[in-house]
Amino acid sequence: MQCNEFELVLTDAIDGVLTGTGLDRFQAHARVCKACGPLFAEAEAGRNWLKGLTEVEPPASLVNNILVSTTGVDTQRLRVTARAPQPRISWWEHVQASLIESLLEPIWATVRQPRFAMSFGMAFFALSVGLTVAGVKPNDLKQVSLRPSAIRHTYYATQARVVHYYENVRIVYEVESRVREIKRNVAPAEPSRKESRPAKPKDDKNDTTQQPEQKQERNYSQTDNHLILASAPVGPSPSVFDWSNVDPSNPDLPVVSVTTYRRFV
């Protein structure tokens, strides 16, 4: 047997599958060859050492880690969750828990931040300074009535005060007077139409002055272009009217008819 042939059957000899004449030739070569003899001994010893090694136990979390890293399913946690009895909670507690988790938790997390506390402090400082400048005192707030009627009264009083203040502002007053003037200049065509209509006896109950309305007269008198002609019956002039001839039983004053002719330019 040659050395290369010896090496080929060496594994079979160690495994115990080499029998008969092959085994005899193998053993004979091992006895005489200085290289193959020790090789056989060492290979057999090495195999025995390796066979003495026991299988190691993998970590307990290995399977779970593999499943989490492959399928993403934590089976161990699922098993524990399935095994553990679930406490019964009412729907109200469930709603409360979900509300607290979804709404209050983020708000509380924000409030706990130092920057929010700083902002809150600055806002409070600004508010207190503003109230002090405005003259608002905390003691005044105690006397504020919160009845609806009182609130309504306060609202109207405040509104009236604001309107009064606004109308007394100089520029507003001037603008309003200019607007009135422009209206007067634009309006003159209207009175002719008014005159064509029959004069309706005006029964203005609100008029306590008992004076004829002189609004139109005032407008016309403001221009010099209007010619007013009046005619009176022959007799004493009103300025020299003899009041002694007046019958006391008939207190009616003498009627003076005045005809006016208006010419519009």
Partner 1 sequence: MEDVQVVAMLVRRCIAGDSAAWEEIVQTYNRRIYNICYRFAGSGDDAQDLTQEVFIKMYRTLPSYDHTKGAFVTWVTTITRNLLVDHFRKSKQDRMTDSMDTSASDHEDAQPLSEQIPDQSAPPDAHVRSREVGETVHAALAKLSPELREAVILRDLQDMDYREIASVLKVPEGTVKSRINRGRAELARLLQRTYRQVM
Residues that bind partner 1 (CB under 8 A): 7-8, 10-11, 14, 39, 41-47, 49-59, 62-63, 65-67, 69-71, 73, 75
CA atoms within 13 A on the CB side of 105: 7
Cβ(199)–Cβ(191) under 8 Å? Answer: no
Q: Would you state the torsion angle of the CA atoms of residues 105, 111, 116, 117, taken in this order, to the nearest 10 degrees?
A: -170
Residue number with CB closer to partner 1 (54 or 168): 54
> Given the complex with partner 1, which of 14 and 219 has the nearer CB atom?
14
Residue 142 contacts by C-beta under 8 Å, 6 or more apart in sequence? none
Least separation in angstroms between residue 66's CB and partner 1 is 5
Smallest gap from Cβ 85 to partner 1, in A, equals 24
- Smaller CB distance to partner 1: residue 57 or 242? 57
Q: Please, are residues 44 and 51 in contact by the beta-carbon 8 Å criterion?
A: no
Separation of alpha carbons 219 and 192, rounded Å:
13
Residue pair 26/36 in contact (Cβ under 8 Å)? The answer is: no
Q: Minimum Å distance from CB 100 to partner 1?
A: 34
To partner 1, the closest distance from the beta carbon of 20 in angstroms equals: 20
User: How far is residue 265's CA from residue 225's CA, in Å, rounded to a whole number?
Assistant: 7
Task: Give the residue with the Cβ less far from partner 1, 44 or 176.
Answer: 44
Which residue's CB is nearer to partner 1, number 72 or number 148? Answer: 72
Q: How far is the CB of 11 from partner 1 (least distance, A)?
A: 5
Half-sphere exposure at residue 25, Cβ-oriented, CA atoms within 13 angstroms: 14
